[in-house]
Structure 1
Amino acid sequence: MSGVYQENSRISAKHCEDMSAASCLLTEDPFLCPICLDVFSDPVSTPCGHNFCKTCITEHWNINVQCQCPNCKEVFNMRPDLRVNSFISEMAAQFRQSAQQKTSSRSEQQVSKPGEVSCEFCTAPKLKAMKSCLVCLSSYCETHLEPHLTKPGLKRHQLIDPVDNLEGRMCMKHDKLLDLFCKTDQMCVCMLCTASDHKAHNFVPLKEECKEKKTALGKKDTEIQQMIQKRQLKIQEIKRSVELSQEDADRETADGVQVFTALKESVERSQAEFIDTIKEKQRKTERQAEYSIKELEQEISELKKMSSEVQQVSQSEDHLHLLQSFTSMNIVLPTKDWTEVSVRPPSYEGTVMRAVNQLSEMLNKQIKKQFQTELKRVQQYAVDVTLDPDTANPWLILSNDCKQVLDSNVKKNLQDHSRRFSYCTSVLGKQSFSSGRFYYEVQVKGKSDWDLGVARESINRKGKITASPQNGYWMICLRNGNVYEALAGPGVCLSLKSKPDKVGVFVDYEEGLVSFYDVDAAALIYSFTGCSFTEKLHPCFGPSPNYGGKNSAPLIISPVNHTE
């Protein structure tokens, strides 16, 4: 008997397992109590075979005196002994658990947000679609996608990442899926299009064309990444330039503060020395006055004493005593003549000027020292410059190494091409500069006339030329041996303390600066500032005419010897 019971138990358990496995395919209706219409809780069976919640049927019979089945209306003479239906109880519990899991799984799925593709089969709230089917032309959430992953017929459908407007993937003309690409017209078509509007065109499957396009996009992305990398490197380069610029600015600021601090201290020291000089003169006058006053006061004291003695004797009524006292009195009056004695205020004429001149000499030394520092700095940008024979005026003679030029008084027969100066006795440097900084030096010793500077590559080189920045020239010149001028249009007369034998020319292209230096005196001659350079610049040399031998010395491009 026990063996039969065990076998029945195994059959019952297996049946429950089968039922549990199938519960996902059943609806909840068979597991609802007919009275409360909810999933069974402690289900019991009546003799007629119907099932109810134990609480529901008990309360129902407590209210109705007659024991009757709520379903089939069978009447029981006495209240039946109700027992729990274990099979229905297990099935209801499994169904309740499965329903809770589905509810939990559904709640864990992400609700679609604005702009996202939502499942077309969900009731509110709409869940986010996981895939779109190109055959069904529908989008599905994880739950509603399950048949496409399990049923053989649906598993053959083509699934893609969720997209909107699946109807747009259909041919407007033939209502067929756009599954081909017309390479001739560069557009997507359906199978029927190949026999009509696109007949005899070159077709490939969308997958093949996508592969080709992905390859092209890959190459384009590689190119983009290279461009990004280059620009990132350029950003680093620019940032580094800013850092170096800041370092230069800090260093220049520190040097400037040091110079101005020294100048300020020198001015304050000169001022203190000047005040001390005035005070010392005043103290000397006061000492002289004090000595004279002291001497006068001493003489006054002695005279008062004498006066007292005289008055005492003169008031005596004893004639003998008066005569004897007068005879014995030794009255010696001071002999110093105070008429010419005086205390005159000291003379301050020239005191201020002498102090200012002394300060000026000291400042000039500081200024010269600063110019030496600046000249040393710009000499770091020295470049090797040579003369360009193709630009030289026919009257000029160039040395073999193209480092010297002078006027020969004899015109050579040269080709008059566009690059050559035809009238002005000028020649350009062969080197050109369109960025950065450069510096060169030219010996002008022994000359009475010359022109030096830089010029744009596109300058006019024919006929008479007026050198000015407006015409593309940034030059200074010497005329008649002692007249220096900056050709700034109009010209600016330059007052120089000494006649330079060697002139340094410095250009900062980006800064728009052209400066000229007296190299030996380490002095700034003149600077063109705020220049706008837009093309190549060439060094420009004008040795000027020979003037019968008075200006026969050449202009010589000299090697730069860095100042100590």
Structure 2
Amino acid sequence: MASSTPSRSEEQFLCSICLEVFSEPVSTPCGHNFCKRCISQTWDSNESCFCPCVKRSSPSDHNSRPTPSSLRWFLSGNWRRGDRMCPTHQRPLELFCNTDQSCVCTMCVIREHKNHEVLSLEEAFEQEKVSLQQTVTENQRLVEQRRLKVQEITAALELSEREAQRETQQMVKVFSDIMESVQRCLDHHTKVMEQSLSKHKERAQALIQQLQQEMCELEKSSTEAQQLSLSTDPLHFLQRCPALPPLETSLSQKFNKVFRQVASESNKKELRRVQTFAVDVTLDPDTVYPRLVLSEDLKQVHHTDVRKKLPDSPQRFDYCAMVLGKQSFSSGRFYFEVQVKGKTEWDLGVAQESVNRKGEITATPKNGFWTIVLRDKDKYKAFAGPSVLLSPLRPPQKVGVFVDYGAGLVSFYDVDSADLLYSFTGCCFREKLFPYFSPCNNYGGTNSSSS
């Protein structure tokens, strides 16, 4: 039974004919709801079908249709919640406007949402459930995709960490090996230096002992000479007078001898050091001057009066009797030796790659050449800009050339005596360096020996 004072929400579910809660509720086209029995009796007792609320006829073909969803909604008790009612018409929200994506009542459909696509709540509910399930499935797919990406990135990061650790371990081992090698070299060098110093000390001590002995002998001789100078007997004086060399001359000879010995040992040691950087050099036929003849093994060169027909390539010297080595060097150290025995003129040294090879050439550092030369049988010079006159103790038979590219050093040695002939220092190398040779003209056979 309905309450004697029904609330506004309850009134919406009372039949306006019997004033009781709907029994088999139906609605008219105008939107009013009645019990099926009540509206049927009303229409049966009248000639025309009209809505008892508005007194407007309803076509007979528009049979009242039951609204089971409304009844279920009412019986569930949810009608008491305001969010289930249309705030405009105070009717149940039992339809869904797909156009505006909102829940509507039957009055909304014939007014505000007229001609819109309208679905029942059940249809919209099923569609939204399908759409929601698709969204859930898509989200799960995206989550799985990102989870796999996270795993991939994590695996790549772990691999990178392992690679970094492996490379670090390798570098540590390499540097440890280098440090051990450096330490071994340092120990060896220290040992060699100590041995050399020990030998020098032994020689110096032997020389000191010898000098001390000579000093004693000289002092004894001096004492005897002083005593003899007091003699008044000419015969006795002349018979006993010792024939001693002057003191200064004797000492000077001794010190000069020692100096030469020490200098010779030092020079030999330095020559042995640079000889460890020896390289094999062959002559380059593409650069040779047409009047020069190369040996079959490309190790020797001499001048001839016959000019050969050779291609005039950019690499070839066309006016000066010059040739370069085939090997080039752009870093580190290298050393080679040149046989010059029997020659009255020659040039040798190194040249940079970009030197001029056409016409007359002056082989100076300014033009990319670092050389020493022999002229007129006995005039040795270093072409250092202004020429530097050299004074070797004896004519070199074999000359060694040593280059330290990084240090900017070019040194020339007399291989037989180990004497340093000359050094170019502070050179600034920016190109490849090539061994350089010139046997000069043969001058009718007086300078025909091969270099």
User: Smaller-chain TM-score range?
Assistant: 0.5 to 0.7
Equivalent pair of 1:270/1:355 in contact (CA under 8 Å): no
Q: Which residue of 1 aligns with 2:348?
A: 452
Following superposition, the deviation at residue 405 of structure 1 comes to 0.7
Unaligned runs of at least 5 residues, structure 1: 1-190, 196-201, 294-337, 556-564
Q: Aligned partners of 1:226 and 1:490: how far apart in 2?
A: 58
Equivalent pair of 1:452/1:541 in contact (CA under 8 Å): yes
Distance 1:348 1:456, change over 3 A: same
Matched, 1:418 2:358: no
Matched, 1:205 2:145: yes
Normalising by structure 2, we get a TM-score of 0.59
Q: Deviations over 1:12-63 (max 9, x none)?
A: xxxxxxxxxxxxxxxxxxxxxxxxxxxxxxxxxxxxxxxxxxxxxxxxxxxx
Matched, 1:479 2:375: yes
Equivalent pair of 1:274/1:355 in contact (CA under 8 Å): no
Q: 1:396 aligns with which of 292, 311, 317?
A: 292
1:205 is matched by which residue type in structure 2?
Q
Q: Aligned partners of 1:390 and 1:339: how far apart in 2?
A: 85
Q: Which residue of 1 aligns with 2:183?
A: 243
Distance 1:466 1:350, change over 3 A: farther
Following superposition, the deviation at residue 398 of structure 1 comes to 0.8
Q: Deviations over 1:174-232 (max 9, x none)?
A: xxxxxxxxxxxxxxxxx89x99xxxxxx9973212223323443454455345434532
Q: 2:414 aligns with which of 504, 518, 521?
A: 518
Q: Aligned partners of 1:225 and 1:464: how far apart in 2?
A: 61
**Seq. identity, %:** 42
Q: Which residue of 1 aligns with 2:439?
A: 543
Q: Which has the higher contact order (CA 8 A, sep 6+)?
A: 2
- After the TM superposition, which residues 131-530 of structure 1 pair with which residues of structure 2 at under 5 Å, given as runs? 205-221=145-161, 223-225=163-165, 227-258=167-198, 260-262=200-202, 264-265=204-205, 268-269=208-209, 271-273=211-213, 275-288=215-228, 292=231, 350-530=246-426
Q: Aligned partners of 2:213 and 2:345: how far apart in 1?
A: 47
Distance 1:423 1:266, change over 3 A: farther
Following superposition, the deviation at residue 554 of structure 1 comes to 1.2
Following superposition, the deviation at residue 239 of structure 1 comes to 1.7
Aligned alpha-carbon RMSD (Å): 3.6
Q: Deviations over 1:392-427 (max 9, x none)?
A: 122211111101111222332322323222333221
Following superposition, the deviation at residue 460 of structure 1 comes to 3.3
Equivalent pair of 1:263/1:363 in contact (CA under 8 Å): no
Q: Aligned partners of 1:254 and 1:530: how far apart in 2?
A: 31
Unaligned runs of at least 5 residues, structure 2: 1-134
Q: Which residue of 1 aligns with 2:19?
A: none
2:392 is matched by which residue type in structure 1?
L
Q: Aligned partners of 1:278 and 1:265: how far apart in 2?
A: 19
1:553 is matched by which residue type in structure 2?
S
SS in 1 for 2:444: coil
Count of residues paired in the alignment: 313
Equivalent pair of 1:478/1:484 in contact (CA under 8 Å): yes
Q: Aligned partners of 1:203 and 1:541: how far apart in 2?
A: 77
Following superposition, the deviation at residue 475 of structure 1 comes to 1.9
Following superposition, the deviation at residue 510 of structure 1 comes to 4.2
Normalising by structure 1, we get a TM-score of 0.48
Q: Deviations over 1:414-472 (max 9, x none)?
A: 22323222333221111223344433221111111111122233333333333334443
SS in 1 for 2:220: helix
